[in-house]
Chains A and B, each alone.
Chain A
Amino acid sequence: MLFNSYVFIFLFLPLTLLLYFGLNKCRQYTLAKLSLVIASLVFYGYNEPYYVLIILSSIGMNYALCCVLQRYPKKAILAGGIIANVILLGYFKYFDFLLENINRFTGSAFDYLNIALPLGISFFTFQQISYLVDTAKGECKQHSFWDYVLFVTFFPQLVAGPIVSHDEMLPQFADMQRKRLNFDNFARGLQAFSIGLFKKVIVADNFGRIVSYGYQNIPTLSSLEAILTILAYTVQIYFDFSGYCDMATGIALMFNIKLPMNFNSPYKAATILEFWKRWHITLTRFLTKYIYIPLGGNRKGKVRTYLNVFLVFLISGIWHGAGYTFILWGVLHGIANILCRLFRKTVDKIPRPINWLMNFVFLNLTWVVFRAPSVGEAWQLIKQVGAGGFGLSVELASSLYQPASIAVMVLVLPLTAVVLVCTAAVLAIAVFGKNTNEIIERSRLSGWTLLTTWALFIVSALSLSGVSTFLYFNF
């Protein structure tokens, strides 16, 4: 089920909230928790019911392993558990990629399995690995089965994160104060949800049309079109993924659950090191705690530190998708990170705006590698920037037609100007504006915020029809 669907907004969410708080009000705390688990599984299996079997199998296996680890915290059992999780993820996500490479390099002709990737498998696998490791280290007390299931399946964060840890979630579920409807949380939840919905439905989906057009017509793009295509994806991926996380944050808040911040205005970053402290924060946190530090972190000399950094980014690239473009993206970010650390003193002396510009250009170019169907096409698009010409085709110019139709009517701007103005405005918001977490934490709930939240919600709710997918569902 999608957050940006009528069935979720008008049926699933209100019913789940009513049920959860209603049961808690009647002091049926276990039933209330169970209602959340069942709702989460309905949410997860809404389009593909058999996915529920996959997630329940994964949960069952991991919970059993945790019980064993509680009694016998042996490294071999932990290693077995991690390998089992990685095999499960590998089977669904990388098996065909592996076959493709075997076929390519050995000349064999194995048939692809065309396995459908279960929603959010990368997220719930990582989350469960973290629980296993913490259990083995004795950092995690024994939780009941239903607590564990709720920790993994809690629907706001189930399919695209943030990647939460048991110590920030389970105490909240147990907290009696959080079982009563809290209007302050609810209001801020509505705010975050409305902002996220707008970011996804109005911004990301519309810029996604420019991206689709651009990537389908690379050889014919003018310089301006190529630049716009690159910038549009930079906009799309941020507003899509952070919009999703905003909605997740908002929904969780309605249940009085505070999710960790996943995006802290990443395009404000002046260096790649800063970017990774602001972009997909919970993934960085996971990779640091469960890969970088166990590898030795920065404790084993400079060379090992750089090697560890590189490995972390390589794994991050592979985690994002089965393809050479993702691997190359991870490698490029790894190299940039190492260079930034190596020349930190020099970098620090460069004025921040220049650092920012270099970093932003780097991010844009690496997003091209991330998005392109192949490395060759990524390079072709980057080369196309130098193709010359500043014309915009009608197809590309009208990509933003839906929201732009309002602007066209009001301002009577030509479509080309609308595209340029919208792109500049959205990027300016990403670079200079407050992010959703800052807004909901710091803003006063006034008449003005009521009006703006209402406007964002209404415009988005009236624009839900159409084909829509979240980019990060596939990672």
Chain B
Amino acid sequence: MTTKRWTLCFLLLSAVTLTLFAGIMYVTDPLIRYGTESKLFSYYEYSELYSNPGIAKNYRYDTVLVGTSMIQNTDVQECNELLGCDMVRLPYPGGTSYNMKTILDICFASDNTVETVYWELDEHQLFGVHDAPRDPLPDYLYRSDHLQDLSYLLNLDIFFHYDLKNLRGTLQGIEQPVAREGETLTGDFSEKATLSSYNRPNKAETSASSEQYIADAKRNLESNIIPLVEANPDTEFVFFTVPFSILYWDREMQNGTFDAVMDGLEYALERLLEYENVRIYFYHDEWEIVTDLDNYKDYSHYGSWINSYMTRALANYQDRLTADNCESILNEMRDYIHSYDFDGIFAPAT
């Protein structure tokens, strides 16, 4: 073979292979970058980090639900019926406020008119890092310029992890759309499982500084939350806190962080209440749920019936926090936790 022929064959062969591969990826579009689900697959492999940007960009909706694993079991169908909306759910387990802002930016840049954002707001988003996602994002899926298309279309990893799995699921006859509407967080929800998975920290000798928590909350609010609220005055932002189990608060008490967390939370909620397009619902203090460990599989994650409870509560405007009642409700919670017999949870049954 002459060197000229070798070179031309190599270039031609490579060009044809890469074009073919890109063509297959474009047509199958396993992460719905170019449109909604194709008729090719009945099954779509889903992962929050990889699938959410496609859903945010290409689905039709008027309402978005964002949050952490606390909303993984929220039933979108139920939300649509009770809240009278057309919703997509975009969770990021353990997500930071940066995660939420990144995906909401895509939602607001899409062709949809976002009327309402339901935002599950937790302490992790308020007091965690403000300038990074929880896990490194596959940037090319979160950016829409054409150079990023190459990273998607010429991606063996996505082919293996999504295309082939979609094909396998489809051949097995599994029906599963990209945005799964039901329960995705499973496990053994029982007091026994919850207690056995919990490692109680030793009692801290000092308490955390409220100033630090307030400063962290300020950074997260001003970097990732308030800019969205201000930039979209026609969108209603409905923030809600969720009923973590009593063990969650035991952990905060043992770590000496409870009072600082509450002060940071109060600061954040009061800042948000300043905006007309914000509503807040407070479910941290649903004590009947919180103290019944059969609702949980670990110190924070609850079963889908609690998601359902919150959906109904939201639909009924139950436990709304206002500028007038914010302080008193948080003080009641402080009192409840401070007077709670946490050691009793771990005392052997008599």
Contacts and interface: CB of A to CB of B under 8 A. Distances in A.
A464 B1 contact: no
A456 B17 CA distance: 13
A7 B147 CA distance: 8
B215 interface: no
With a 10 A CB-CB cut-off, give which of B6, B14, B138 has the most chain A CB atoms: B6
Interface residues of A, number: 28
B156 A457 contact: no
A186 interface: yes
Contacts of A335: none
A457 B10 CA distance: 10
A467 B157 CA distance: 13
B140 A465 contact: yes
Contacts of B150: 6, 10
Interface string A227-245: 0000000000000000000
Contact of B18 (A184, A446, A461): A461
A293 to B, nearest CB: 41
Contact of B1 (A6, A405, A447, A458): A447
Dominant SS at the A interface?
helix
Interface string B1-27: 111101101100110011001000000
B6 A445 contact: yes
Dominant SS at the B interface?
helix
With a 10 A CB-CB cut-off, give which of B138, B156, B159, B160 has the most chain A CB atoms: B156
A455 B136 CA distance: 29
Contacts of B7: 183, 186-187, 190
A213 to B, nearest CB: 15
Interface string A431-450: 00000000000000111011
A450 B157 contact: no
B6 A462 contact: no
Contacts of A184: 3
B1 to A, nearest CB: 6
Interface in A128-175: none
B147 A457 contact: no
Contacts of A405: 160
A454 B138 contact: no
B151 interface: yes
Interface string A1-16: 0000011001000000
Contacts of B10: 187, 190, 450, 453-454, 457
A458 B17 contact: yes
A76 B160 CA distance: 63
A459 interface: yes
A384 B99 CA distance: 37
A445 B1 contact: yes
Query: Which interface class (under 10, 10 to 19, 20 to 34, 35 or more) fits B?
Result: 20 to 34
A190 B14 CA distance: 11
B38 interface: no
Contacts of B17: 454, 458
A463 interface: yes
Contacts of A190: 7, 10
B154 A464 contact: yes
Nearest to A189: B7
A256 to B, nearest CB: 13
B155 interface: yes
A402 interface: yes
Contact of B154 (A6, A402, A406, A447): A6
A458 B10 CA distance: 11
Interface in B143-162: 147, 150-152, 154-157, 159-160
Contact of A450 (B9, B18, B136, B160): B9
A141 B140 CA distance: 49
B18 A458 contact: yes
Contacts of B159: 462
A269 B317 CA distance: 75
B21 A450 contact: no
Contacts of A402: 156-157, 160
A466 B10 CA distance: 26
Nearest to A7: B147
Contacts of B140: 465
A297 B17 CA distance: 55
A186 B3 contact: yes
Interface string A311-329: 0000000000000000000
Nearest to B15: A10
Contacts of A183: 2-4, 6-7
Contacts of B4: 183
Contacts of A187: 3, 6-7, 10
Contacts of B154: 6, 461-462, 464-465
B49 to A, nearest CB: 13
Closest 5 CB pairs of A and B: A462-B156, A183-B3, A465-B151, A183-B4, A6-B150
5 contacts: A183-B7, A187-B6, A445-B3, A464-B151, A467-B136
Given A458-B21, A462-B155, 18 more contacts: A6-B147, A183-B6, A183-B7, A187-B6, A187-B10, A402-B160, A445-B3, A446-B1, A449-B6, A450-B1, A450-B10, A458-B17, A458-B18, A461-B18, A462-B156, A463-B157, A465-B154, A466-B138
Interface of A: 6-7, 10, 183-184, 186-187, 190, 402, 405-406, 445-447, 449-450, 453-454, 457-459, 461-467
